[in-house]
Amino acid sequence: MTFWKVLGVLAAWNALCWLVIGALLAPGIPGGAVTVVSVALLALAPVVPMARSMLGRRYPSASMRRLVFRPFWYVQLLLPILTAIAIVSVLVGLPFGSAGEAGRLAIVSATALYIVLMLWGYVGSRRLVVRPLELRFEALPAGLDGLRIVQISDLHVGPHTSRRHLERIAAATAAARPHLIALTGDQVDDYAGDTKPFARAFAGLDAPLGVHAIAGNHDIYAGWSGVRAGLEAAGINVLVNEAMEIEHNGATFWLAGTGDPAATAVSLRASEAVPDIDRTLGAIPDGAFVVALAHNPVLWPALAERGVELTLSGHTHHGQFSIPRLGWSLASPFLEHSMDLHRRDGSLLYVNPGTNYWGIPFRIGALPEITVVTLRRGRAAD
């Protein structure tokens, strides 16, 4: 679907939502329908500067993203919720002759609850969890026992990102004393220029076995060639459809980095980042211990079939809303492997919830995380 078709669908969807909401609210507010239409047009106005930035005509500043883009996404999330609740409330109130009153009450109540949830989610987006994760492998070479990998994922850095939050991430990463740092995609928000604030925040990252990154879908949307150049200029090793042998404590393992399925869109012109598992693992000898970085967890089954012992992924953000005790998140209905740890025939997958956020600063349950993975030799617990 082209950009202009997406824009058309967005405009039609907004018109439908505002038609339902406006029909209920107009009789009870000053200005009636005129006020509703004015508010609807104001809420949709950010589409113009967003279109200019997405078409490469202007790089959006921090103020533009905070004061224009962010409110737009808050409204876009609220509209379908209000519309659905309003329709249900009208149907419930209709037999009692109070359809309009029920719909208006539902809209006001849902909006108030939405504001509370957004404030809760904002606080959650500023928290940072450092999660220790000890993983055991029978095939792990003895010299790799105790190897620490710090995984950071889905940073979505832009000029609007909280500098304090990024400083905390960098400090917590250094405090974990990693042997290797893995950035598993979506390093930038949506623009290649976002590699500049990324570099300011993370160019100082260091580990004995290197700092390595792969492409995420937003890195590709932003323009992969520019993002890759920015990452490499910051001293980060980029692995896309390739693997490298790494020696540690007298033993060796292979670190592999995949491409991302988003690159399959012809319009993105990122053919080098189209996932190619055969190419990614082609140079790895039989029997070698492999750690793979794959932004999208849909790539894991193919990696598991090839005997990759450990795959570190991100992408899902755990929906930015999850109930960890139930193993459920907003991403669960859409992806088979949407969160946490999965096992298959001796292969492990860990899906990091992301270390920042995308769209709006909202996280409930699925808190920003730095994962400290420690490899251990031995049989995994059932």
> What is the pTM for the complete model shown?
0.93
CB 240 within 8 A of CB 258: yes
Supply the DSSP string of 196-237, one letter for each residue: HHHHHHHTT---TT-EEE---HHHHHTTHHHHHHHHHHTTPE
With a cut of 90, say whether residue 52 has pLDDT above it: no
Classify the C-alpha dihedral 96-97-100-104 as positive or negative.
Answer: negative
Placement of tokens 């039609």 in the chain: 12
6: its two tokens: 């997406």
> For 270-285, what is each residue's pLDDT tens digit?
788 999 999 999 999 9
Mean pLDDT of the chain: 94
pLDDT for residue 5 = 79
Classify the C-alpha dihedral 60-182-351-262 as positive or negative.
Answer: positive
Selected residue with higher pLDDT from 381 and 103? 103
**For residue 107, which of 162, 29, 176, 35 has the smallest C-alpha distance?**
29
Residue 265 contacts by C-beta under 8 Å, 6 or more apart in sequence? none
- Pairing assessment for the beta strands 322-323 and 328-329 based on DSSP bridges: antiparallel
The pLDDT of 327-356, averaged and rounded, is: 95
How far apart (Å, rounded) are the C-alpha atoms in residues 79 and 68?
Answer: 17
Longest pairwise C-alpha distance within the chain: 79
Ranges 47-56, 169-178, 270-279: which has the least confidence: 47-56
Residue 47 contacts by C-beta under 8 Å, 6 or more apart in sequence? 7, 10, 11, 72
With a cut of 80, say whether residue 66 has pLDDT above it: yes
- Rounded to the nearest 10°, the torsion over CA 117, 118, 122, 124 is 30
**Strand, coil or helix: 253:** strand
pLDDT for residue 155 = 98
Residue 58 contacts by C-beta under 8 Å, 6 or more apart in sequence? 49, 52
With a cut of 80, say whether residue 101 has pLDDT above it: yes
How far apart (Å, rounded) are the C-alpha atoms in residues 59 and 69?
Answer: 13
- Pairing assessment for the beta strands 310-313 and 251-257 based on DSSP bridges: unpaired
**For residue 263, which of 301, 222, 293, 235 has the smallest C-alpha distance?**
222
Q: How confident is the model at residue 242 (pLDDT cuts 50, 70, 90)?
A: very high
> For 107-116, what is each residue's pLDDT tens digit?
999 999 999 9
pLDDT for residue 150 = 98
CATH fold of 129-377: Purple Acid Phosphatase; chain A, domain 2 (3.60.21)
**Strand, coil or helix: 251:** strand
Domain boundaries, the chain: 3-125, 129-377
Label each residue of 278-343 as H, E or C: HHHHCCCCCCCCEEEECCCHHHHHHHHHCCCCEEEECCCHHHHEEEHHHCEECCCCCCCCCCEEEE
How far apart (Å, rounded) are the C-alpha atoms in residues 233 and 179?
Answer: 21
**Strand, coil or helix: 91:** helix
Selected residue with higher pLDDT from 56 and 69? 69
How far apart (Å, rounded) are the C-alpha atoms in residues 97 and 47?
Answer: 39
How far apart (Å, rounded) are the C-alpha atoms in residues 287 and 326?
Answer: 36
Supply the DSSP string of 340-354, one letter for each residue: EEEEETTEEEEE---
> For 214-238, what is each residue's pLDDT tens digit?
999 999 999 999 999 999 999 999 9
CB 371 within 8 A of CB 291: no
CB 52 within 8 A of CB 7: no
Residue ranges of alpha helices (H) inside 55-98 are 62-64, 70-93
With a cut of 70, say whether residue 1 has pLDDT above it: no
Is 1 exposed, middle or buried, given 0-12, 13-18 or 19+ CB atoms closer than 10 A?
A: exposed
